[in-house]
Amino acid sequence: MANNDSNLIEDRVGKRARVKAKERGILVGVDFPGYDQDQDQLWSTGESMKELESLSETAGIRVQRKIIQTRGKPDSSFFIGSGKADEIRNLVKELNIEVVIFNDELRPAQLRNLEEKLVTKVVDRTQLIMDIFAGRAQTKEAKLQVELAQYEYLLPRLRGWGESLERQAGGIGTRGPGQTRLARDREKVQRRIDTIREKLKEADKELDVRRKRRLQSPTPIVALIGYTNTGKTTLLNRLTGSDGFEEDKLFATLDPLTRKLELPDKRKVLLTDTVGLIRKLPHQLIPAFQSTLKSARTADLLLNVMDITQEKLNARWKTVNKILNEEIFEKEDTRPPMINVLNKIDLLENHQEEEKASNQIKDSVPISASKGENIETLKKLIAENLGDEIKRVSLGLPYSKAKLLDWFHENGEVLTEEYKGDKIYLEGRLEQHLLMELRSKLTDGELEEVQ
């Protein structure tokens, strides 16, 4: 959060709401069997905790312990039971723990109570993900949106950090300077929120202009979507020969990356990488990457890239579809067709594992983006799913228009070429929108047939 008011958050809340690389941490998860009606039964708490551990490692946390408690419902004061809180407090002392990370979103009062009880910094899953996003956002719009999400999340929690404010300004809940300081702090945060929103309005207008230009283009758009860290950027690089940033960490790609891809039938499409999705993705962060997520909304085809080596493939597939339906596509939208791409087959021990995964996920194609296996098969599937927009044409050109041969070779596929009499006879295939351009260059009789 690079601005003058950021010291407010960093000094009073930020130290407690943000994680730092190499901090020693404990992860805490709670299993509520039968209580959480929104809980995806395909995900166990243990598997969800593995994901939290990956998130923590992405943030640079050195995880020392993972603790899971089973409860009937969340404790109103500590989320976990008070006895479990005492147990964690002892571990904090014993292991010199600097941060305790919860796998669920905590209420402000729970965060305050836990911090006072554990005598160390406490953050929840939402804060952790936002912190990772803040460190990885590159574009101006993404940085502003992440900053806005952080401020909006932290604003109601300013009151929750009473101890640190009280030490500096005389106490919360009094008529003295402490109350004045808290009110002043809130006003500063609210002003910054209002400023960011105004900046984002202007940025959104620019995005809409660029998006409209792209939609007016006849070139199809293919969006790479899917769970985080499944190899989407590696696949984009393999398909297009580009060199987008790749890293074996969650959320390696947060900003838009679009490249041209030529299909086997010579069609050219735009291939767009998008931010990785994840279970319990904070709703506040959805707008932060509208430029990448809206690529999915305007796409002609989606490629859902999945890591075939991961367990619970079906659960991950359901998570992606849930986010698509609830966060990205609006009710009136028609979702484009989707190909499920099972990546990383080179890491499997045998073909039986590949066949088992393919049976779990219908309409899928197994590939290895890093090794290039089955990439041509995927390209053909992309062409098929985009529909048959290729026209077969027959031309009879006078020699005076021989330059059109170079144009056809560059833009289409020449099947036969014959010089006979006073004409050049050509048969080939051409995208439908380019056929319109070709017609404008010809006179009557020169375009002999279109199929």
pLDDT digits (tens, 9 = 90+) for 73-91: 999 999 999 999 999 999 9
Say if residue 379's pLDDT is above 80.
Answer: yes
The whole-number pLDDT of residue 2 equals 40
DSSP symbol at 344: -
Residues 369, 442 share a domain: no
Distance CA 43, CA 31 (A): 11
Distance CA 116, CA 108 (A): 13
Nearest 5 degrees, angle CA 94-CA 99-CA 105?
A: 130
Better-scored residue on pLDDT, 141 or 52: 52
Residues 364, 423 share a domain: no
Q: Is there a contact between 220 and 300 (Cβ–Cβ < 8 Å)? A: yes
Cβ neighbors of 387 (< 8 A, separation 6 or more) are: none
Strand order through the sheet with 24-31: 62-70, 24-31, 99-102, 121-124
Residues 109, 237 share a domain: no
Q: Is residue 342 part of a domain?
A: yes
For the chain, the domain total comes to: 3
Mean of the per-residue pLDDT values of the chain:
79
Say if residue 252's pLDDT is above 80.
Answer: no
The whole-number pLDDT of residue 189 equals 83
Domain boundary among the residues 385, 414, 438 is at 385
Q: Is residue 60 part of a domain?
A: yes
**Residue 403 sits in which domain range?**
390-450
Q: Is residue 295 part of a domain?
A: yes
Residues 236, 104 share a domain: no
pTM: 0.69
Task: Quickly state the pLDDT bin for 326 (edges 50, 70, 90).
Answer: confident
Q: Is there a contact between 368 and 345 (Cβ–Cβ < 8 Å)? A: yes
Give the residue among 298, 289, 285, 388 at the shortest CA–CA distance from 335: 298
Tokens of 337: 């067709």
Tokens of 184: 């002043």
Which of 220-244 are b and which e, b meaning 16 or more Cβ less than 10 Å from the residue's Cβ?
Answer: bbbbbbbbbbbbbbbbbbbbbebeb
Task: Quickly state the pLDDT bin for 180 (edges 50, 70, 90).
Answer: low
Domain boundary among the residues 366, 385, 404 is at 385
Distance CA 108, CA 420 (A): 83
The whole-number pLDDT of residue 217 equals 60
CATH value at residue 309: 3.40.50.300
Residues 352, 409 share a domain: no
Residues 402, 263 share a domain: no
Strand, coil or helix: 166: helix
Cβ neighbors of 42 (< 8 A, separation 6 or more) are: 312, 314, 315, 318
Residues 395, 380 share a domain: no
User: 121 - beta bridge partners?
Assistant: 99
Task: Quickly state the pLDDT bin for 371 (edges 50, 70, 90).
Answer: very high
Distance CA 248, CA 325 (A): 27
Residues 405, 376 share a domain: no
Domain boundary among the residues 81, 113, 137 is at 137
Say if residue 257's pLDDT is above 70.
Answer: yes
- Where are any strands of DSSP class E within 125-256? 221-226
Q: Is residue 238 part of a domain?
A: yes
Q: Is there a contact between 163 and 116 (Cβ–Cβ < 8 Å)? A: yes
- Where are any strands of DSSP class E within 9-60? 24-31
Q: Is there a contact between 227 and 320 (Cβ–Cβ < 8 Å)? A: yes
The whole-number pLDDT of residue 264 equals 86
39-83 pLDDT, tens per residue? 445 567 888 898 899 889 988 899 999 999 999 899 999 999 999
Residues 381, 401 share a domain: no
- Where are any strands of DSSP class E within 208-361? 221-226, 257-262, 268-273, 301-307, 338-343
Distance CA 321, CA 209 (A): 28
The whole-number pLDDT of residue 162 equals 39
Q: Is there a contact between 304 and 364 (Cβ–Cβ < 8 Å)? A: no
Residues 358, 226 share a domain: yes
Residues 426, 318 share a domain: no
The whole-number pLDDT of residue 25 equals 95
273-303 pLDDT, tens per residue? 877 777 777 777 776 655 556 667 778 899 9
